[in-house]
Structure 1
Amino acid sequence: MFRVVIVEDEYIVRFGIRSMIEWDKLGLTVSGEAANGQEALALIRESPPDILITDIKMPVMDGITLITEVRKSYPHMKIVILSNLEDFQYAKEAIRNGVSEYMIKSDMMPRDLEETLLRVKESILAASPASEQKHSVSDIEPLFKEKRMLELLEEMDSDRSQQIVESLRLSDVMLPLYVLHIVKNEWAQSVEEGQALIRKAIAEVMMTFSEDAYEAFPDRQGEMNVLLFARKMTAAGLSEIKTWAQSVVLYLKDHCAMSCTLGVSMSTSSWSGLHQAYEQAKAAAKYKMFIGPERAILYGVDYVPLPSQLAENIKVSTTHIHAMVYAFQTKELQAYLEDIFEQLTARKNYDLVEIISLELLILLTTLWSEVASDQQSILQLKKQYYEQLSKLETIQMSKAWFLQAFEELVRHMIGVYNSDRNGIIKAAQYIGQYYQQEISLQSISSLVHLSKNYFANLFKKEMGESFLEYLTRIRIEKAMTLLTSELKTADIGHLVGIPDPKYFSKVFKKITGLSPSEYRTRAKEDKSS
């Protein structure tokens, strides 16, 4: 265990740092705390720590003075300074005094502190080669090892990969390697309990099948991964890999009541190839969307990606769906949705399924918002929809869910249609009476207590033309009557609610085929004949 001293004048901050991480899992222990530099210096002289974490601004003796004094007697002690953003000028001075790391208090998260301390710890180990040689890879603290293993999966630079391999004492490990990615379908356990049971399942199955080494560790999303040094399995071919992986899935189901899917990468013969293998394993696990969960899926065997030219995007016409919903065309809408999901099934692209599903879900909830008066209930419905959709395992389940959800929406709209027809009649009467005033879609829909989009669609369905078309037609019809009088054309435009003379003439001709003056002349001729 490496010993750490924390120096910070605010007790609550010291408590937060101490409680933020699990020190023992990092191979560290907090051996002392101090409220200022003077207390810390006495503590350090009595029992020097391996790592010093100190604030900069403190009473009695600040962090800069403390660091200067520590460097006189303990030049190799690792120092991490904490500070506020505005104190960076002080931080630069501390860095000149050989500080190992610098962290901003306001931005510091548990993972940040862990990673900083692991880097400091690694630098201590690197500076002590004799000490390092006394330990094997199994002696490295579990959390340190797991974080480094995850870095191997995420790292694409070969030089950095080699550095991580050396820090884990894996240089002599025989290749090739496989990456296995285990995803949760459904289980009642917490993330930590689930990870522990997966580790147990892997250990039990490994004893039955092979003596090859492996490392199991979670990724940043909490999903478990296995790095399998499968020398003996490779000789037997991929069939034994799949049998072993399928046994893990079955063990979890039968002994732990856990539903999981396991993706298996192709083999890689280089450490720098682990990143690609990790992506392959994740892609294979996602393929459960098309062949079902609770199985082991081998990349390149069970899942073979389509060539990029065959995996083009699928376009969803929100306008077309919108029109079918408001026209109550349930059969046509279902046929359209089924066609979309047939295309998705042919593509076999998990990410594309998620994108299209999200588009459909947004459209679905938007349409509900247009017809519902209680927005609180719509918020609950959105949460319910997201939860339901997140639990669907296959594309067939997703298709069935969307078909049912859109059918329920149309059924609801049919139910409210008759009661809202009165609102459309009221709106038409209002337009007929107040056409000369400024009337917007927003104002007229508010008048009859309907949402703007819903009103616009319902109005067109009921009246056979859009709100604007209807309003304009009423105004032009009134203008046609007034043009038989001696009123000026510009005044008539004002009287019917179209005050711009040029625009009035343009709209009038578009609807009647004649300009206002031409219409007036013809009306007079018809009257005199």
Structure 2
Amino acid sequence: MPSLIIVDDEAIFRKGIRLMIAEMQSDWYVIDEASDGAEALEKMEALQPDLLITDIKMPRVDGIQLQYIVKERYPHVACVVVSGYNDFQYARESLRLGAKDYLMKPFQREELYALLHKLQEEWHLEQKPTKENGKDLLLQNQMRQHVLTGLLTGNVHHGETELLENVGISLPHTYISCLIAKLDRDSVTDERYYQLNPALFSVYIQQFIQESLNESLHSYVFIHHENEVVALINHDSLDTIVAEIEHITNQIRKDIRVQSNFTLTFGLGSPAKDLESISKSYKEAGLALLYRLVIGGDRLLSNESVTEIAMEKQERQAADWQALNQFVQEGDLANVHQQTIHYVSALCQQWKDPEIIHQQICKMLLHFYELAVNLAIVKQWLQHTEVKQVLVDIYSYSSSKELTERCQQLLGDLTQCIANRKKKFVTSPIEIVVRYVEEHYAESITLNMMAEIVYLSPSYLSSLFKSKQGLSFIDFLTEKRIEKAKSLLLYSDEKIQSISDSTGFTNIRHFNRVFKTLTNRTPSEFREGKGAVGEL
């Protein structure tokens, strides 16, 4: 029998609908009631209803927000919306979200009965395939989430297009830009925030952004961590994409502020040309978001806009900044301490507003945080502290002496980390990577692994490697493996399967495909033709 939950903040209305349904001749039964969307979501996990009959205007989570979240978490659950507010905007929004119908209060008993009879017939016809498809969809969504997370961390590269296809990810356009959205926590009261499961805000934001982006851009929107919604936007244009994303995010912020009474801040990274570079775009978007602490939220912060903010300094400050930056990178601890005193003193003398002083110091620290990210020494520098917390703490210092001592400590620790790192390198990090590949090509090798070995971030190593070698790390590794495979095909009697295994390929199918792409012949054709003159 199909079940339903009635959601309305008026108990008398809930009881009235329950009585109507009990008196009608149907298979429907009311499994429970809820006084608002938040309570309904708590009950849905355990009760798994087939239908929601929900009001629009309710405290905490209203009917529109409830539909967004249900559409993401329980796509098989049907919704019927009822409201006393004769506003077509609500009806249109609900129907766009997939509501089966929209009834105006007070509605006639016959209207409800006719609708439930229709839904009952649909339920009987579609019940089994819907549940089976729902399970398949859930499994694919979980796999897709795993792969999308891998793109953010740099663990998925261009040689794994088959993996993307298997989980339903298609990236037909040239570039991928990473957009991160975060709730502005200060726009939500503590009472409202903690009454709900905070994760529900992210689910709501995810669905809202996906709906908005789908109208004009090819994208994948998902929750990464509990409080971060990420959109990977696939596009061809470089000239207009930032303006287009800014227009869309401005509309999203406006709509959410009006409908749900909270605000968002977006961070946008620069466009990536390949899968390996997506992690760099993600880090840039995250870094841009950190500037919310400096200039406030409820806006789009891009990599370009952050660069402009970082450059907004007086000439005298610029000279201090340049000197401080030079001493830190040279590992000159004594001069870093001295220059930090000079820098903070100059700030306090020039600006009488504590807010501006704190902002300038946060900008300076964000610059050095970006440096630490590129050198892959953030953990050594900040230990177990998040950079966001470091910036928040800066605002708690009310005297120049406290600010100076804290900056001396932070920049001194960073200087020491850079000095220790330099001692480990006599050879160029690129030479170390090249030598490692030549010696270990038969093993599993990733860009992240190499980055750890040479103490660089994966995105920075990827960029540095390509500038020095003329091709990406993955292309270099692949070509090295194919070179070894060619030699074995010509000068040994090993089976092709064995050669595939011994040159680091995960399976024979992948080996055959890559070999033919690079040589225009299959391994068998290459062996039979004994290669080409001068090929090895």
Q: TM-score range by the shorter chain?
A: 0.3 to 0.5
- The TM-score, its normalising length taken from structure 1, stands at 0.35
Structure number with greater CO (CA < 8 Å, separation at least 6) is 2
